[in-house]
Structure 1
Amino acid sequence: MHSIQDRLPVSIIIANYNYAHFLRHSIDSALGQDYGEVEVIVVDDASTDNSAEVIASYGTGIKACLREANGGHGAAFNTGFAASRGAIVLFLDADDYLYPNAVSEIVAQFEVDMAQMQFRLHIVDERQRVQDVFPPPEVPFDSGDVTPQLLRRARYQTTVTSGLAFARSALETVMPVPEQEFRQGADGYLVTLAPLHGKVGSIDTCLGAYRMHGSNHSVFAEKLGQRARWRVEHDFHRLHALSQEAEEVGLEVPPDANLRDPTHIEERLASLCVDQQRHPVAEDSRFSLAAAGAAASMEMNVSLRRRAMLAAWFLSVGLLPQRMAQAVLSWKLVASSRPAFLTRLSKTIRYVMG
């Protein structure tokens, strides 16, 4: 392993909008790193709560960037990156936090030809009680050169904002983030384009915490159709950005790459089943999506049993009557909708099939 030089400056950019309740813990976790060369940048995206007061209380201990108008996730990323100087850059959502050894572990394993490092996070509740691990331990990260996965299905196994670190050189190539298209989910833009400019490294231990609570953008409560439509459209934006970036480096992405991605297909099925009138792809049918999902499942980098179970799930959604299909979709995509016996069964299956 050819690690990058020690003591390189690292930037932690905290993006905040109306998370004053969690913000102090997030900032303290960034300031509390056991690696010396860390700058902490806090971008407040025109919050209407008391976030500005929390930020001001740190004085010169952090670099504050207070946006006058709310621009969303992408705008906050762009603002923070423009103010940063680190050779390695982390983006931390203001409701999440890092463990003290996060940066030192990342630096120790970051190699000179890497564009991105990803690591697992503990899922915690509002009281910081650990509930699970994300991504689940039985789902392996994709590492190294992930370009083949991107060119085939426009996705690879990665993680969310707070579990990512990037080489500045890669970010300078792909940023700024398109702010309108990625008002939410700016991390999706970065993880899709950065790997075209270097390898992806993975750390399987948890280096931080991903807080789940009622106002997470990624949760959407029980609004399954709304969530599914947003994710489908977000994937289309990612595919468009990927196609443009790939073309610049002499590569080509198939226009139907999303239809080889089980994650995209399950959200597309949810959108179609729950609210067909507002579904963004008029020509979609349940059976065609289910068949594509079953085929894509069998190419995943997980155990054969897990692949077979997911393929069977897709086919059941495609073949069951509409109301039953909606229930099966909801049970998989929104954990809170599952009957108690299914919750117990899913946990058993998860560990048996790891």
Structure 2
Amino acid sequence: MHFTKDRLPVSIIIANYNYARFLKCSIESALCQSYDKVEVIVVDDASTDNSAEVIASYGSRVKARVREENGGHAAAFNTGFAASRGEIVLFLDADDYLYPNAVSEIVDAWNENTAQLQFRLHIVDESKEVQDVFPPPEVPFDSGDVTPQLLRRARYQTTVTSGLAFSRSALDAIMPIPPEDFRQGADGYLVTLAPLYGNVASIDTCLGAYRMHGNNHSIFAEKLGQRARWRVEHDFHRLEALSEQAADVGLTVPADANLRDPIHLEERLASLCVDRQHHPVADDSRLSLAAAGAVASMEMNISLRRRAMLAAWFLSVGLLPQRMAKAILSWKLVASSRPAFLARVSKTIRYVMG
């Protein structure tokens, strides 16, 4: 079929579980897009609040899919995708929302080789006040053919669920998402596998909002070890899925690819330092992880000064006494744990060195 941008149908799939208080805002943002070939699918993952009533109030303006049993992120995505018809598909978390121009901008940037498009999001609080940008503006997206990064370190610079759009052809090749391995973090599966089937395009402006609140899965400030362990195990699931999918297209992923990924190594160090008893890799050592992290940092697509600072951070965590190492880990990974003076210095360094 001839590729014509202005004829591309788009599906926005909203995945909801007990977010009734945010759901109306999310649905309205999808319905109010300036692009007119948009279908809105709302998947309710067996919520126990009044989400069903909120969804029902939209009648035929949305496709409603109500799951009888809670299955998590992957199951909700799978349900929504099965009901969708768009050539471009967005998965929107129910506590987030899009700006009216989002789909128009996505379609304008799309081409026939695009498997995935990513864009920045404003970080907002519960009252929609803008706090920051995600990913930070000083961190460049990886674009184009990112397969070499995936094959080397099983990650590239991308974003979260609500800042992503996918081609239907790429999703057809990788869906359904394994529901048990990706009960949370299903976007990690999608961004890891979709680039095997086309290019990644990026938009540097904010096309929506990522709402931070006390119930986000990504908020574990008081449980650093638990958060780190979950992320390490999630990375292992991603690597396994990538290895299997890559084999299908004649590619090979090294078994130790995660050891060249600074983000994975940060979390693995945190898991080891904070809760060694439950750490998932028995033979890990602080020094070996820190050394790998320092080397991996110097290969990142950021400024030389930022790479050097990150490498120095890894080495300090590996070499300093355990108590000091834990403090330094916490200060980097949980912003709320930083002393006031360090928070000010960190913010200054971020903008000076961006």
TM-score w.r.t. structure 2 length? 0.99
**Which residue of the partner structure matches residue 279 of structure 1?**
279
Q: 1:133-165: CA deviations, max 9, x gaps?
A: 000000000000000000000000000000000
Q: Say whether residues 1:176 and 2:195 are aligned partners.
A: no
Does 1:339 pair with 2:339? yes
Q: Tell me the SS of whatever aligns to 1:76.
A: helix
Q: What is the 5 A alignment of 1:128-147?
A: 128-147=128-147
- Which amino acid is 1:75 matched to? A
Deviating beyond 4 angstroms after TM superposition, the runs of 4 or more aligned structure 1 residues are none
AA partner of residue 21 (structure 1)? R
1:268-307 paired onto structure 2 within 5 Å = 268-307=268-307
Deviation at 1:202, TM superposition (A): 0.1
Structure 1 contact 92–162 (Cα < 8 Å) conserved: yes
Tell me, which stretches of 5 or more residues in structure 1 are unaligned? none
Q: What secondary structure is seen at the aligned counterpart in 2 of 1:245?
A: helix
Query: Using the alignment, how far apart are the partners of 2:130 and 2:346 within structure 1?
Result: 19
* Structure 2 counterpart of 1:14: 14
Letter in 1 for 2:56: A
What TM-score, normalized by structure 1, do the two folds share?
A: 0.99
Contact 1:7 1:36 in 2 (8 A): no
CA distance in 2, matches of 1:323, 1:172: 48
Distance 2:124 2:349 in 1: 22
User: 1:183-226 CA distances to partner (integer Å, 9 max, x unpaired)?
Assistant: 00000000000000000000000000000011000112321000
Over the matched positions of the two proteins, sequence identity in percent amounts to 82
Name the residue aligned to 1:164. Answer: 164
* Contact 2:5 2:110 (C-alpha < 8 Å) held by counterparts: no
Aligned CA-pair RMSD = 0.9
Partner of 1:266: 266
1:1-354 paired onto structure 2 within 5 Å: 4-354=4-354
Give the deviation of 1:7 after TM superposition.
2.7
Q: Which amino acid aligns with 1:286?
A: R
Please tell me the residue identity of whatever aligns with 1:171: L
Deviation at 1:8, TM superposition (A): 1.2
Q: Using a 3 Å threshold, how does the CA distance of structure 1 residues 142 and 259 change in structure 2: closer, same or farther? A: same
Q: 2-side partners of 1:306 and 1:321: how far apart?
A: 24
Contact 1:290/1:314 (<8 A) preserved: yes
1:277-335, Cα deviation, whole Å (9 max, x unpaired): 00000000000000000000000000000000000000000011111111100111111
Deviation digits for residues 75-122 of structure 1, max 9, x if unmatched?
A: 000000000000000000000000000000000011100100000000
Residue 234 of structure 2 aligns with an amino acid whose one-letter code is H
Shift in Å at residue 48 of structure 1?
0.6
Q: Secondary structure at the match of 2:209?
A: strand
Q: Any conservation in 2 of the 1:42–1:80 contact (CA below 8 Å)? A: yes
Deviation, 1:3, is 7.6
Consecutive unaligned residues of structure 2, counting only runs of 5 or more, are: none
**Alpha-carbon distance between aligned partners in 2 of 1:79 and 1:31, rounded to the nearest angstrom:** 20
Of 123-132 and 2-11, deviating more is 2-11
Rounded to whole Å, the distance in 1 between the matches of 2:134 and 2:7 is: 29
